[in-house]
Amino acid sequence: MKLAPVITIDGPSGSGKSILSQALAKNLEWFNLESGIIYRLFACLFLKKNPIFSKKNLISLLEDLNHYFTYDNGIICNIIKKSFSENDIVSQEVTKVASQLATITYVRKNLLIKQRLFRRKPGLVANGRDMGTTVFPDAIIKFFLKAKLKYRALRRMNELKKKGFYVNFKNILLQIQKRDHRDTNRTDSPLEKAKDAIIIDSSNMNVTEVFKVAMSYINIIKLSSL
């Protein structure tokens, strides 16, 4: 049986992968997976229920996490976020803890299975840090989004400001640097460009421009498969 096609978008925080992923999925009428939300949800559970980094505790929390997905014939359809507010999910504490939990191999292995269950027809656009390298290495097209640190920090600051958080640019810059370092240097599936990924530098591009560039690559694939 032929598996549903996948398009992957990886990149660091603030590179614009979530918004591109949503736009591509909408345009193609495919499903969209925001893998960072799974790590964030896990961090929310950890902070709320039992913030202890022991293996026993984390394994029990990973089991609890199963209640946060809806399944249809064994295939995950949706992530249930309603137990936590949008502000909890994007808070600086959850952001930091999600990145810390993401360094733990057995946590990643467990979440990898959950992420693969999102693959369904007609197709999936998946964004994160290791979508093209580890989770969906057979993706039909892989993008790696990057942008200068200054622009990524500005985007994150504006995003948080819109949600009503008080933010300081220097702090945001430092936090992003720390997170980049942790996400890039962990031993298990670090943030890195897949060998066959197309790099898009979004530093000086708006959302529509990035979308157009990505769609032009997707259209080439579509034409060549006719």
Residue 129 interacts with ligand DC (CB under 6 A): yes or no = yes
Which of 102, 125, 147, 194 is the binder for ligand DC (CB under 6 A)?
Answer: 102
Task: Report which of 189, 187, 167, 163 is spatially closest to residue 176, judged by C-alpha positions.
Answer: 167
The DSSP annotation for 123-191 comes to -EEEEESSIIIII-TT-SEEEEEE--HHHHHHHHHHHHHHTT----HHHHHHHHHHHHHHHHH-SSS-S
Residue 13 interacts with ligand DC (CB under 6 A): yes or no = yes
Residue 130 interacts with ligand DC (CB under 6 A): yes or no = yes
Residue 183 interacts with ligand DC (CB under 6 A): yes or no = yes
Q: Binding-site residue total for ligand DC (CB under 6 A)?
A: 13
Which residues does residue 70 pair with via DSSP β-bridges, in sequence order? Answer: 78
Task: Report which of 99, 93, 90, 82 is spatially closest to residue 162, judged by C-alpha positions.
Answer: 90
x-marked contacts with ligand DC along 65-94 as a string, rule CB under 6 A: ------------------------------
Tell me how far CA of residue 75 lies from CA of 4, 54, 115, 121, 131, in angstroms.
12, 29, 10, 11, 18
Tell me how far CA of residue 188 lies from CA of 110, 115, 136, in angstroms.
13, 16, 15
Q: Specify the stretch interacting with ligand DC by CB under 6 A; choose among 32-40, 69-77, 155-163, 204-212.
A: 32-40
Residue 98 interacts with ligand DC (CB under 6 A): yes or no = yes
Residue 16 interacts with ligand DC (CB under 6 A): yes or no = no
Q: At what angle do helices 207-224 and 17-28 cross, to 10 degrees?
A: 50
Q: Which residues, 35 to 64, sit near ligand DC by CB under 6 A?
A: 35-36, 39-40
Which of 8, 15, 21, 99 is the binder for ligand DC (CB under 6 A)?
Answer: 99
> Both tokens of residue 194?
């897949």
Q: Specify the stretch interacting with ligand DC by CB under 6 A; choose among 24-32, 56-64, 124-132, 206-214.
A: 124-132
Cβ proximity to ligand DC, 112 vs 216, nearer residue: 112
Cβ proximity to ligand DC, 39 vs 84, nearer residue: 39
Task: Report which of 115, 149, 132 is spatially closest to residue 12, judged by C-alpha positions.
Answer: 149
x-marked contacts with ligand DC along 131-170 as a string, rule CB under 6 A: ----------------------------------------
Cβ proximity to ligand DC, 61 vs 130, nearer residue: 130
> How buried is residue 193: exposed, middle or buried, by Cβ count under 10 Å (0-12/13-18/19+)?
middle
Binding site for ligand DC (CB under 6 A): 13, 35-36, 39-40, 98-99, 102, 128-130, 179, 183
